[in-house]
Structure 1
Amino acid sequence: MDGFWNFAGQYWWLVFPLMGVAGGLARSWERSAKSRHQRKLETLHAKAELKAAQAEARNTGRQRVVAAASTPPEDSHEQQLEKLFAAHDAVTKRWLDYELDVAKLIAFPAMSDGRQPLTAAFLRAKKVADRLRPASPKVKLSKEQLDEYRNAVTDFEVAFDVAERDARRLRDSTFTEAERKRLDTAKQLLTVAIDQAATPAERQVAYKRVREELDGLISISDEAVEELEKKVALELPAKPGS
Structure 2
Amino acid sequence: MDAFFEFVGNYFWLVFVFGGAIGGGLKAIGAANERRAERRQERYRLKQQTKLAELEASGQRRVDAEAVRRDIAKSLDQHNQTDVRWFAYELDAATLLDFPMMIDLREPLTIEFHRAKRRTDLLRPDSVDDLVDDSDRRREYRDAVHAYATAFDVAETEAKRRRRSGFSDEEQQRLQRAQRLLQLAQDAGASPEERRSAYARARKELDGLIVLPAATTQQLEQRVAGQLER
Smaller-chain TM-score bracket: 0.5 to 0.7
The Cα of 1:165 is off from its aligned counterpart by 0.6
**One-letter identity of the residue aligned with 1:163:** A
Measured against aligned partners, the alpha-carbon deviations of 1:85-135 in whole angstroms (never above 9, x if no partner) come to 121121122112212221112111110112211111112222232233223
Alignment gaps of 5+ in structure 2: 1-62
Task: Select the structure that is richer in helix.
Answer: 2
TM-score, normalized by length of structure 1?
0.63
The Cα of 1:155 is off from its aligned counterpart by 1.4
Measured against aligned partners, the alpha-carbon deviations of 1:144-186 in whole angstroms (never above 9, x if no partner) come to 4322321221111111011001011111111111111111111
> Is 1:151 matched with 2:148?
no
> Is 1:227 matched with 2:188?
no
**One-letter identity of the residue aligned with 1:87:** Q
> Is 1:187 matched with 2:209?
no
Q: Distance in 2 between matches of 1:167 and 1:123?
A: 14
Q: Distance in 1 between matches of 2:227 and 2:106?
A: 38
The answer to whether the 8 Å contact 2:187/2:227 transfers is no
Q: Distance in 1 between matches of 2:133 and 2:100?
A: 38
Q: Distance in 2 between matches of 1:169 and 1:179?
A: 18
TM-score, normalized by length of structure 2?
0.66
Measured against aligned partners, the alpha-carbon deviations of 1:47-104 in whole angstroms (never above 9, x if no partner) come to xxxxxxxxxxxxxxxxxxxxxxxxx669443333222112112112211221222111
Q: Distance in 1 between matches of 2:193 and 2:199?
A: 10
**One-letter identity of the residue aligned with 2:164:** D
**One-letter identity of the residue aligned with 2:111:** A
The answer to whether the 8 Å contact 1:81/1:137 transfers is yes
Q: Matches of residues 1-242 of structure 1 in structure 2 within 5 Å?
A: 75-139=66-130, 140-235=132-227
Q: Distance in 2 between matches of 1:121 and 1:182?
A: 27
In structure 1, the residue matched to 2:50 is none
User: Structure 1 residues 237 and 100 mapped into 2: Cα distance closer, same or farther (>3 Å)?
Assistant: closer
* 2:120 aligned counterpart, secondary structure: helix
User: Structure 1 residues 73 and 233 mapped into 2: Cα distance closer, same or farther (>3 Å)?
Assistant: same
**The 10-residue stretch of structure 1 (143-152 or 85-94) with the greater mean CA deviation from structure 2:** 143-152
**How many percent identity over aligned positions?**
42
User: Structure 1 residues 178 and 202 mapped into 2: Cα distance closer, same or farther (>3 Å)?
Assistant: same
Alignment gaps of 5+ in structure 1: 1-71
RMSD (CA atoms):
2.2
The Cα of 1:224 is off from its aligned counterpart by 1.4
* 1:234 aligned counterpart, secondary structure: helix
Q: Distance in 2 between matches of 1:152 and 1:235?
A: 40
